[in-house]
Structure 1
Amino acid sequence: MTTLPSAPGTSPVTPADRGVGPLLRAWREQRRVSQLDLALRAGSSARHISFVETGRSRPSEEMVLRLAEHLDVPMRERNALLLAAGYAPRYPETPLDDPALDAVRAGMERLIQGYEPYPALVVDARYDVLAANRGIAVLLEGLPESLLTDPPNAMRLTLHPQGLAPRIRNFREWRGHLLAQMERQIALRRSAALRELYEEVTAYPVPESVPEGEPAEPVAYFALPLRIEHGGRILSFVSSISTFNTPMDVTVAELAIETLLPADPATVKYLQELLP
């Protein structure tokens, strides 16, 4: 299992010197919410929302947080909104190796270890791998050390032509799924670091060994499977991602636990025999 390092922070992409009004307007427009709809949700008036957005009215700290809540602004960017409005950040960003997060680390470790022999890992907002179990280690066997640097990145590991890409039998479908997932996260978080990673991985060439497509499988999957080759066998998994409910810390809010659920009995049997 990998060591849990401090989760690297991502600098807010919304500088405070722009003022809170334009930032709130940008979030509202991105969420495609009218001033009237936002006012009704937040218990305010469209006139007041307009005044806030144009800088004619300075919102209270409570109003900034209320508007951010109804616009589904990520926690890191809520701190940026508060700074832009002249208030102190509300949510701390505690390093993951801080003793204050001992319970979080221990809980995640128990969860992913308890999921063995099936693969499970913990990633941050930029998909850096903070922890992984033996099931993940099995899938990563034979990858070059350059991709396994500390911390390795889940998107690089999967999409790089020297990574898992040549082993994934439905790579084009899985690549499309991962890129769409990243696009949704970029729209939600507006993270420059995540955008940079997206541009990097989209530029990776598709390995020549990846087939254009395979005949339809007789198994009826209930979700898009990851079909990956290991030891001459094709293993099939369905991905599930869990996050913490109602977090009060930026670091915790940006953690995600991904588990790979075996999608067929053959995969179950193979992993149980490989990792008893």
Structure 2
Amino acid sequence: MTTAFQFQEWLSHHSEQAESALDSLLDSAGTTPNRLHEAMRYAAQGGGKRIRPLLVYAAGSLGDAKTEVLDAAAVAIECIHAYSLVHDDLPCMDDDDLRRGRPTVHKAFDEATALLVGDALQTRAFEVLANAPCDADARLKMIAALAAASGSRGMAGGQAIDLESVGKKLDLAGLKQMHAMKTGALLSCAVELGGIAAHLNTAQLAQLQKYSTALGLAFQIVDDVLDATADSQTLGKTAGKDAAANKPTYVTLMGLDYAQKEAKELQETAIASLDDFGSRADALKDLALLVVNRAK
């Protein structure tokens, strides 16, 4: 008789694992220069859903990944994500004062420090991966994956399209491309990093790519829905920001009902793509449910 998978227990354990890994792999606030390292910790450890580290751990469970390697990958992807948020909140980008229910880094510290925090978190991510306790081939593959997902053809490129699209009309294909780069690339990379650490083969990684592509788009659609329907206190960031900035979203382009229906269909696609992994993929399946059904 097999024991039923307990997702809440898994979630609690691996959320704590992610926090512990961040704490140990980030420099202490007492490291010189103190203010910069304090701000880096403020940015990276200031709450959040930790979806990307959780995806690393869940994908890693599909094979024989070492805990220490998954910790390194989880911290690396979260450092990149945190840096992107710090820069996204700057006055020259989205100009936001609230993130995760607290003042954004440039408000809690200053703009110059926030800029340096993003720079330093990005380089720390690759330093952590370069020192991951695994073979050189796996390290190189993880570094290459994270670099591609973070750069001009990934997250940074998606941000550029987002900024260029303010006040303009994107068609559905253009909106999907922007979201695939801006949000989906890092989510897909998190799954890929776990798969690399688990020594999955090419066919298995391709299955994970189908999962993460659907999940990444669903995640952003839900973000668009929440931006239009939730309040700032619930979200922990400024609600209605996209509409106020005249940015194209799934809700403004296709309507709320379509967006909610599309997110559910993408959730089903993501889960179905994991069938060949059986019960080993239970965490990934439940994370897909969590992403689409979240309230913030």
TM-score, normalised relative to structure 1? 0.30
* Structure having the larger proportion of residues in strand: 1
The structure richer in helix per residue is: 2
TM-score (norm 2): 0.29
